[in-house]
């Protein structure tokens, strides 16, 4: 590719594709990444390298094709940080559930939550009259030590996320949006970049899976809830942040707060949180795309249209 004149290169988004896309961009080429689900319909015959290449080109030349945003090294770092953090959180949840289940077989029942489990475990280990054998006591003590180590690792990564959110300018700008904390800000920047891959905020929201799914046939349109597409962890964080913003609205009289109260009264907190998360992504796209600080301007007419 070094000897080739500058051209447009289509690639299927897969493991290592962002690295090779950056390398090709450095050589002066224009690179577009295509999600595999959009390539498959264009493949004819058996799955071979030649048929895959033809399908990728055919998909890339479609005027309405949606491409995957190319990640910079900085965005890749943030994504890797969150992937490791999510794995630790998942392992912690698995460990807690396993300890709950194991202790239940010995008649030791604890309440929900990590704090309740720890208190119950130490009481059970000190109780000489229960059915816990010496082997089981040792095993449970080892699991609790592992739980402490996982908590330390998660806390360490939380500090890194906090530092990253303050050090990277786009993340710092996103922090000004209601319901956006360090975790959401860094994940949004990692997913959307400078926002240039999307023509408008709704496309960014759809990319993250926060727009309603639609099933229409015979002229009858059916609008359903959000689907399972997009980044699950980011969607969950956005909705948690939206719930937090809703809970702090109180009796504020600005346009956005009035809109939120009216929305909650009409559809309930959960649906209102999803709607606010959708709006948060659109606002974040505007901040990233324009490179400007967030301005807390909210017009009631646009709010009512968005609801």
d(CA 169, CA 294): 12
Tell me the angle at which helices 269-290 and 232-247 cross, rounded to the nearest 10 degrees.
Answer: 110
Cβ partners under 8 Å of residue 48, min gap 6: none
d(CA 52, CA 55): 5
Q: Closest Cα partner for 180 from 291, 71, 283?
A: 283
pLDDT tens series, the chain, 307 aa: 888 889 999 999 999 999 999 999 999 999 999 999 999 999 999 999 999 999 999 999 999 898 999 999 999 999 999 999 999 999 999 999 999 999 999 998 888 889 999 999 999 998 888 888 999 999 999 999 999 999 999 999 999 999 999 999 999 999 999 899 999 999 999 999 999 989 999 999 999 988 888 777 777 777 777 777 778 899 999 999 999 999 988 888 788 888 889 999 999 999 999 999 999 999 999 999 998 888 776 444 444 444 4
pLDDT of residue 292: 84
pLDDT of residue 306: 47
pTM of the model: 0.85
d(CA 56, CA 115): 51
d(CA 97, CA 115): 13
């Amino acid at each position: 590719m070094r000897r080739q004149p500058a051209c447009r290169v289509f690639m299927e988004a897969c493991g290592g594709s962002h690295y090779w896309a950056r390398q090709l961009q450095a050589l002066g080429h224009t690179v577009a990444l295509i999600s595999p689900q959009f390539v498959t319909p264009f493949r004819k015959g058996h799955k071979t390298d030649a048929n895959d290449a033809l399908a990728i080109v055919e998909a890339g030349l479609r005027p309405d094709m949606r491409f995957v945003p190319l990640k910079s090294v900085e965005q890749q770092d943030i994504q890797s940080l969150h992937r490791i953090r999510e794995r630790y959180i998942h392992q912690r949840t698995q460990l807690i559930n396993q300890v709950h289940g194991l202790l239940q077989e010995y008649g030791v029942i604890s309440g929900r939550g990590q704090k309740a489990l720890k208190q119950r475990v130490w009481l059970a280990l000190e109780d000489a009259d229960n059915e816990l054998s010496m082997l089981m006591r040792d095993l449970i003590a080892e699991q609790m030590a592992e739980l402490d180590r996982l908590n330390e690792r998660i806390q360490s990564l939380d500090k890194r996320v906090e530092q990253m959110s303050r050090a990277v300018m786009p993340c710092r700008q996103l922090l000004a949006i209601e319901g956006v904390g360090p975790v959401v800000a860094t994940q949004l920047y990692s997913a959307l970049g400078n926002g240039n891959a999307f023509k408008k905020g709704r496309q960014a929201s759809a990319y993250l899976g926060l727009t309603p799914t639609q099933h229409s046939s015979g002229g009858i349109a059916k609008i359903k809830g959000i689907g399972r597409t997009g980044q699950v962890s980011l969607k969950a964080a956005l909705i948690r942040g939206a719930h937090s913003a809703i809970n702090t609205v109180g009796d504020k009289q600005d346009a956005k707060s009035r809109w939120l109260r009216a929305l909650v009264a009409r559809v309930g907190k959960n649906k209102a949180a999803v709607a606010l998360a959708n709006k948060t992504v659109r606002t974040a796209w505007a901040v990233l795309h324009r490179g400007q600080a967030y301005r807390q301007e909210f017009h009631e007419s646009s709010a009512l249209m968005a609801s």
